[in-house]
Amino acid sequence: MAATGVLPFIRGVDLSGNDFKGGYFPEHVKCMSSLRWLKLNRTGLCYLPEELASLQKLEHLSVSHNSLTTLHGELSSLPNLRAVVARANNLKNSGVPDDIFQLDDLSVLDLSYNQLTEIPRDLENSRNMLVLNLSHNSIDSIPNQLFINLTDLLYLDLSDNKLDSLPPQMRRLVHLQTLTLNNNPLMHAQLRQLPAMVALQTLHLRNTQRTQSNMPTSLEGLTHLKYYIYIFKFGKLSSLTEFMAANNNLELIPEGLCSITPCIQILIILDVRENPNLVMPPKPVDRAAEWYNIDFSLQNQLRLAGASPATVAAAGGGVSSPRDPLARKMRLRRRKDCSQDDQAKQVLKGMSDVAQEKKNLEENGDLKYADLKIRRWDKSLEKPQLDYSEFFMEDVGQVPGLTVWQIENFIPVQVDETFHGKFYEADSYIILKTFLDDNGALNWEIFYWIGQEATLDKKAGSAIHAVNLRNFLGAECRTIREEMGDESEEFSAVFNNEISYIEGGTASGFYTVEDSNYSVRLYRVYGKKNIRLESVPVKASSLDPRYVFLLDTGLEIFVWRGANATLSGTTKARLFAEKINKNERKSKAEITTLMQNQEPPGFWEVLGGQPEEIKKHVPDDFSPVRPKLYKVGLGLGYLELPQINYKLSVEHKDPKIKLDILPEMRLVQSLLDTKGVYILDCWSDVFIWIGRKSPRLVRAAALKLGQEICSMLHRPKHACVTRNLEGTECQIFKSKFKNWDDVLKVDYTRAAETVQQKDNLQGKVKKDAEKKDQMKADLTALFLPRQPAMPLTEAEQLTEEWNEDLDGMEGFVLEGKKFARLPEEEFGHFHTQDCYVFLCRYWVPVEYEDEEKEKKEGAGEEGGRAGKAEDEEDKQPEEDFQCVVYFWQGRQASNMGWLTFTFSLQKKFESLFPGKLKVVRMTQQQENLKFLSHFKRKFIIHKGKRKQKTDAAQPSLYHIRTNGSALCTRTIQIGTDSSNLNSEFLPCFSFYFYNQGIVYTWVGRAADPDEAKLAEDIMNCMFDDTYSKQVINEGEEPENFFWVGIGSQKQYDEDADYMKHARLFRCSNEKGYFSVSEKCSDFCQDDLADDDIMLLDNGKEVFLCVYIQHMRSKDAEQPRKLRLVRKGNEPHCFMRCFHAWGAFKTTLA
């Protein structure tokens, strides 16, 4: 490359990760005559390239992780060389040249992870050495003369060698700050040199056979020591910030560490893991944490639930200490009195000072009446609340200095300080001068400069945004217009009369119609979970039958699937092509999916002709080249191209980056800064990413550097350079990053309109906005008591009232596609696979006129009304009625029953009872209480269909249970298994089955006698006299009939205490905020919503996701355990809380 290019201006470049094996080192490096630092790590070098001899200004050279066996070459000819980093190579003593230690400026030498057996010769001649790293070698001794001249050392690492002793001359290292001697025998080392190293800050002595006998008696002189690892006896280390003593036998924290209060306050890291006998001091009590902007603490939630202050105080009694309310009142009263006295004294003092000053002025005759200015009319106008944060930063104009903006696409873009005073002829600028006036207050001067060739949009934009800037600052100055070649003296003085003009300018913000030119590209698609695309030559020979290829010709995109390619890869490639069409081609491109051997002639025409055979040529162990990300740096007369090692977490500035990103997949969007310009080298493609707030000169330099990198390094002929502006990146560029996020940010804990503004806020403004937009949460249901059970008398009274109003009830059942009338003897019998309709006619009470009005009439009127008494009785309104249709659907029934009812039976009812019909739809175990009352606790649900033939010899087991109220009593058929029995039936549990004409009602030993009598009545109702009916108590079961018929005797629950505590909660965001609501006590398994989180508390355990802290505080005698339940794998202790648990409902045709 010619010397007139950009290469002579490069001051530093990082070429790590490239493959320079076989003599592929770029020759253009010798054109970088101004190069100061060069990194060639992991490039496969076996020797130092000859091109280094041309880099006479080189100061830092890094050749780590290569295959170098010698450093002989041109290093000694580089007079300005300061640092040599050659770690992790194959260097031996013969491979280290002696003449490099004659360089006057050599201060950093890193030869770690090599094969050295002794200290390099003449190393003691490097008098200016500051950093020396010889770790992880096989050095067994250190010559005494080494440290005679190396007295300026700041960092010394001799770890992982074979040293037995240390030379006494080490005490001359009085400036040493870091000393690492880990993993050395040091059997004969007493370390008496340590007290002399007064500047020591970090000391590592891990695995050096240290005991109390071979350590100095005291290290109190090392006052700067901050990192102290693996030492037995402590002095007063007041600056210690890290203490590591893992894998030892510590019993207590060392006294020298705990007894010094400042030491504990500045300590950052304390590592005492794997010390089995260690007793740690008690942990301080912290405040309750707040998650998702919601305070989940018991005290706050009880307060929201309306609890009394005494209850709230009692709930927090275990955390806070008791307080004396009387003492608090006295303290507040004293504070108020003191503050009032202080305010009165300050007012009196101020008035005295003013009077004294006035008196002094009168005596001197200098008192003048201040001019009383009339307030201007425009001062009283209320200014509109406009948001300029999109154009100007929050700290603009707050510090004295100069700030310059350039108009680009109607928006001001801040110019770097380096380019102040340099104006493009076709651009417009805004200049802000911030200074302090005579009173020490901030003041401003605002100019807008217009170039001679500037377009109309730039002229208008500079004027408009100059006014916006004045409003943003609240300044009272005028905006001053300056034109190219006619600048005022005040404007020139701002730049010290150093204004220069540059030809050119940015493109106009107005849209221009241009014909797009598309380059033909062929990509090979690889990857399983997340696909990637690699550019290959546009030839037919590039095709491989095991892969999917994407051919992009502009307005026509082909997705070619090889004969052995996967269907998922083809689908993902098609979706990728859809994104290209939508985001880059404005949905004008045509996408065609092709199978191998079914290609049209146009496809082969683009690839240069159809081949005779498509062969496998991609290696089985193919792995793509790891992308390299460079950041373009521009200074005064130089360029730098450092490489971002995105494998390291320290390079990721985003604190929210997910930890599941693997080391080789950490190329993420957050690495790109909007104020910078980056070059992404993918070997077959070079991308230049330009941030929207980046300086223009950096953009121009990046474009030239991209071309240089593309031509400098060895790469295929089809490689090209692509420019990408922030916000308009092409899909190929996005595919190189992991989880490139184009989706709007979502935060369910905040209002939607504030999520996008969150990143633009800082400091107190951000905290105030978060507090203002704090999401509402309703957790009251968790802290309210359980709904009490309805008394039996109240339930009976409601049953009597509702049945008195019932005039008649007719039942229908779906048979095939029609509803047939249900016989009255089957009322109360339901089946899980059927649909039922009940037409109930209710009397509506008549509303008569108020009789009190009649009593208020006069006596004369009474005589006249008596004659009309019979007529008024005839005019009284007749009794009215209302018809309610209850539609009942079994859990396993199809929705076709509801559709059949809607379009047939319901229309017939509406024509018979116009205006008086009400339809109530119900599902199994979610019935209306009024509907249940009509069956008087004899509500029976059978499995299967009504007319389904059942095996008479097959036993059946029914479960009678009442949920919260006698109205909610149901008898449901369950699985015939003795494990479903329960000894306690509270409020009512009964089990019975029939087999060969025998019916048993099984009563547990803890059952209520009244409920047992109800079970006997239900048995008589269900079965006629042809069956033998028996009531047996627990423990008196006949072996030959009962246990044999039920299968076998198994272990079953002997208590049902969970029924006293069972509560079901639903956690949802359907109200727009997080809320918890409680289901009624009569819940069933259909109440478990798949879209929400459900919490079940049975008194001993809490199921699903969230542990309820208030239960542990309110019911301390009955603690809960947290358990997770997955749908389809529910344990027995979970299912027993639901009456007649069965298979979940499936969608039926």
Per-residue model confidence (pLDDT) at position 1100? 80
Asked if residues 538 and 521 have their Cβ atoms less than 8 Å apart, the reply is yes
Confidence of residue 690 (pLDDT cuts 50, 70, 90): very high
**Residue 797: pLDDT above 80?**
yes
User: Would you mind telling me the total number of residues written for the chain in this entry?
Assistant: 1149
Q: Which of 243-247, 385-389, 734-738 tops mean pLDDT?
A: 734-738
- Using 50, 70 and 90 to split pLDDT, how confident is the model at 849? low
Higher-confidence residue of 26 and 322: namely 26
Count of C-beta atoms within a 10 Å radius of residue 1078:
18
Does the pLDDT of residue 381 top 70, yes or no?
A: no
Can you give the pLDDT at residue 394? 81
3-state secondary structure 231-265: CCCCCCCCCCCEEECCCCCCCCCCHHHHCCHHHHH
Among 399, 425, 731, which Cα is nearest to 550's? 731
Share the mean pLDDT of the chain: 79
Tell me the residue type at 944.
G
- According to DSSP, the β-strands at 479-483 and 442-450 are parallel
Q: Is the pLDDT of residue 219 over 80?
A: no
Distance, CA of 603 to CA of 622 (rounded, Å): 26
Domains of the chain: 388-502 (3.40.20.10), 521-591 (3.40.20.10), 628-653+661-735 (3.40.20.10), 792-846+879-1046 (3.40.20.10), 1057-1135 (3.40.20.10)
Pairing of strands 500-502, 521-526: unpaired
Return the pLDDT at 861. Answer: 53
How far apart are alpha carbons 695 and 413 in whole angstroms? 8
**pLDDT at position 856 over 90:** no
pLDDT computed for residue 110 by the predictor = 95
Q: What would the pLDDT profile of 253-290 be if each residue is shown by its tens digit?
A: 765 565 544 555 667 777 777 777 777 766 554 444 44
Structure tokens that stand for 659 in this block: 């930890």
pLDDT interval class at 353 (50, 70, 90): confident
**pLDDT confidence of residue 237:** 57
Region 436-462: what's the mean pLDDT?
90
Q: Which of 251-260, 334-343, 568-577 has the highest mean pLDDT?
A: 568-577
Give the residue among 166, 213, 157, 212 at the shortest CA–CA distance from 185.
Answer: 166
Contact yes or no for 244/217 (Cβ under 8 A): no
Range from 578-592, 776-790, 825-839, 854-868 carrying the lowest mean pLDDT: 854-868
- Nearest CA among 842, 959, 819, 947 for reference residue 888: 819
Q: Which pLDDT does position 298 carry in this prediction?
A: 66
Identify the residue whose tokens are 């919503």: 1089
- pLDDT number for residue 367: 44
Residue 199 has pLDDT above 80, yes or no: yes
Mean pLDDT of the 1013-1039 span: 79
> What are the residue ranges of helices labelled H in 680-751?
696-712, 731-735
pLDDT > 70: what percent of the chain?
Answer: 75
The pLDDT value recorded for residue 986 is 38
Please check the confidence at residue 937 and state whether its pLDDT lies above 50.
Answer: yes
How confident is the model over 1120-1141, as pLDDT tens digits? 666 666 666 777 777 777 776 7
- pLDDT of 311 reads 59
CA atoms within 13 A on the CB side of 781: 19
Mean pLDDT across 493-519: 79
Taking 70 as the threshold, does the pLDDT of residue 490 lie above it? yes
What average pLDDT does this structure show over 1045-1056? 75
- Using CB atoms within 10 Å of the CB of residue 554, give its burial: 0 to 12 exposed, 13 to 18 middle, 19+ buried: middle
pLDDT of residue 460: 92
Tokens representing 705? 């550097």
More confident residue, 864 or 699: 699
Q: How far is CA 751 from the centre of its chain?
A: 16
pTM over cut 0.85: no
Residue 134 confidence (pLDDT): 95
Measured CA to CA in angstroms, residue 65 lies from 87, 109, 901, 1014 at distances of 6, 15, 79, 86
Are the beta carbons of 1011 and 985 closer than 8 angstroms?
yes
Amino acid at 338: C
**Confidence check: pLDDT of 698 > 70:** yes
pLDDT of residue 251 exceeding 80, the answer is: no
**β-pair partners for 39:** 14, 62
Alpha-carbon gap, residue 403 to 272, rounded angstroms = 52
Q: What is the mean pLDDT of residues 945-967?
A: 78
Query: How much is the average pLDDT of 153-166?
Result: 92
User: Is 50 exceeded by the pLDDT of residue 320?
Assistant: no
3-state secondary structure of 576: helix
904 or 656, higher pLDDT: 904
Give yes or no for residue 989 having a pLDDT over 60.
Answer: no
Q: Beta partners for 548?
A: 525, 561
Q: Whole-angstrom Cα distance, residue 1084 to residue 669?
A: 48
pLDDT of residue 205: 84
| 8 A C-beta contact, residue 460 and residue 436 | no
Strand order in the sheet with 479-483: 411-414, 401-408, 428-436, 442-450, 479-483
pLDDT tens digits, residue range 912-921? 888 889 999 9
